[in-house]
């Protein structure tokens, strides 16, 4: 067995920010990189062969999601997908309604897109959450009005791992749509969910959820970076985000990254195949981690309710310390974690997710996110548990917060 002191290379406990590409996915991509390099828009044989690979991936995702292949639009990442949805839907239906609703704990790409729309004259409401990060369904019902065209609620939060009740959201929207129809209100009401952190971790049935739009990301599921998608239900209007050569049904122009999309598809198939195995393994590691920290470190809390979270994302709060300092000292011990989401890590402001859950500034600043994944070893968790008590003690000894 590897000794705890033998870890000379970084221990990666930041899987919520990104994942390493699975070797099986890399192997599947190699012949695509070598042989299918032509532009999918070219009419010669090499171009059409590359297009066939692209369409195989599209049909593969349609099968996984149980939707039609013409409802799958590939993008470069989840941030692009979410910008596309929020802005594209708002612009497509601006003459019918200029009100959208997003949760207060969405990824920054959703929240900043919504803020941008506000600057253009749109009305945006930010749905509140409880102390566990669960959205307020009654508030959602009250916020939806006859001008509301879009509701966007993420499936799993990237900072605390909370699983949102998106099926209940879908049911609420379905009932409101029926009421609008009875009252002859013509404004459409669409439901989008960012499922970047949920696909391959928890069950996801697009038809059961009842969403009109859905976002997925390759690099969150052990696929290559540079690929994402949006499911757009047939009949939904959306304004293109990128104009040009007309790729992706005219919604997203630009030369297609065929190898990355192919790898994305293979990663998705593998994620579904391994979902229970990965979930059960992560749950065992998370349970061990939390129980050990509880026994070794005082003034510790798990942010959120463990029973409503995915096991891969763990939000740990330590009183009387500063989370950024803890991240740096762990890094000096070859352990990679984050103090918030990777996309917001350059900000010195407290996490908007934790603040929305009711934490105080000093509590939010005393939080780190540990996220585990497919390749996390038991010995790596043991090493983390060995070094963190001493680091916490050192930080508390010099803390001005005591």
Query: Of 3.40.1710.10, 3.30.70.60, 3.90.1150.10, 3.40.640.10, which CATH number belongs to 4-21+275-397?
Result: 3.90.1150.10
pLDDT at 209: 96
pLDDT at 347: 56
Residues 321, 401 contacting (CB under 8 angstroms): yes
The values of phi and psi at residue 133, to 5°, are: 90, 10
pLDDT at 107: 98
Annotated active-site residue in 77, 211, 336, 343: 343
pLDDT at 401: 66
pLDDT at 332: 96
The domain segmentation of the chain, as residue ranges, is 4-21+275-397, 23-270
C-alpha span between 103 and 152 (Å, rounded): 7
Q: What is the pLDDT of residues 166-212, one digit of tens each?
A: 999 999 999 999 999 999 999 999 999 999 999 999 999 999 999 99
Closest alpha carbon to 177 in 168, 193, 188:
188
What is the CATH code of the structural domain delimited by 23-270?
A: 3.40.640.10
The strand pairing partners of 318, in sequence order, are: 300
pLDDT at 160: 98
The strand pairing partners of 129, in sequence order, are: 135
Indicate the burial class of 111 (C-beta count within 10 angstroms; 0-12, 13-18, 19 or more). buried
| Residue 211 falls in the annotated catalytic set | no
Unique residue bearing structure tokens 């297609």: 256
pLDDT at 1: 44
pLDDT at 349: 82
The number of beta carbons lying within 10 Å of the beta carbon of residue 9 is 7
The number of beta carbons lying within 10 Å of the beta carbon of residue 370 is 27
Per-10-residue mean pLDDT of the chain, 402 residues long, equals: 61 98 98 97 97 98 98 98 98 97 98 98 98 98 98 98 98 98 96 98 96 98 98 98 95 97 98 98 98 97 96 97 95 93 60 96 95 98 98 91 64
Residues 77, 225 contacting (CB under 8 angstroms): yes
C-alpha span between 79 and 59 (Å, rounded): 23
| pTM as predicted | 0.95
pLDDT at 7: 62
């Amino acid at each position: 067995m590897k000794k705890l002191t033998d870890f000379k290379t970084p221990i990666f406990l930041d899987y919520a920010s990104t994942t390493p590409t699975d070797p099986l996915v890399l192997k599947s991509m190699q012949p695509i990189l070598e042989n299918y390099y032509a532009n999918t828009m070219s009419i010669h044989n090499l171009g059409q062969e590359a297009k066939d690979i692209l369409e195989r991936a599209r049909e593969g995702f349609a099968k996984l999601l149980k939707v039609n292949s013409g409802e799958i639009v590939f993008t470069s990442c989840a941030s692009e997908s979410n910008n596309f949805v929020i802005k594209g839907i708002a612009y497509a239906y601006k003459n019918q309604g200029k009100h959208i609703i997003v949760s207060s704990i969405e990824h920054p790409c959703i929240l900043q897109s919504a803020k941008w729309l506000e600057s253009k004259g749109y009305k945006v409401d930010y749905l509140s959450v409880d102390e566990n990060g669960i959205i307020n369904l009654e508030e959602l019902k009250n916020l939806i009005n006859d001008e509301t065209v879009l509701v966007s609620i993420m499936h799993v939060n990237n900072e605390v791992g909370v699983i949102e009740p998106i099926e209940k959201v879908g049911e609420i929207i379905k009932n409101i749509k029926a009421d609008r129809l009875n009252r002859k209100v013509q404004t459409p009401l669409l439901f989008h969910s960012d499922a970047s952190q949920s696909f391959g971790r928890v069950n996801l049935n697009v038809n059961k959820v009842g969403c009109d739009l859905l976002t997925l990301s390759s690099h969150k599921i052990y696929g290559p970076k540079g690929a994402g998608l949006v499911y757009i239900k047939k009949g939904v209007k959306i304004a293109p985000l990128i104009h040009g050569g007309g790729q992706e049904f005219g919604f997203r122009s630009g030369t297609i990254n065929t190898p990355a999309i192919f790898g994305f598809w293979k990663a998705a198939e593998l994620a579904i195949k391994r979902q229970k195995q990965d979930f059960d393994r992560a749950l065992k590691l998370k349970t061990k981690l939390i129980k050990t920290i509880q026994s070794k470190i005082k003034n510790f809390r798990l942010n959120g309710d463990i029973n409503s979270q995915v096991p891969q994302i763990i939000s740990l709060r330590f009183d009387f310390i500063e989370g950024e300092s803890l991240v740096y000292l762990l890094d000096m011990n070859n352990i990679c974690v984050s103090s918030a989401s990777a996309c917001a890590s350059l900000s010195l402001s407290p996490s908007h997710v934790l603040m929305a859950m009711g934490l105080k500034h000093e509590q939010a600043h005393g939080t780190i996110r540990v996220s585990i994944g497919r390749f996390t070893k038991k010995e790596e968790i043991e090493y983390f548990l060995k070094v963190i008590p001493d680091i916490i003690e050192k930080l508390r000894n010099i803390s001005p917060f005591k």
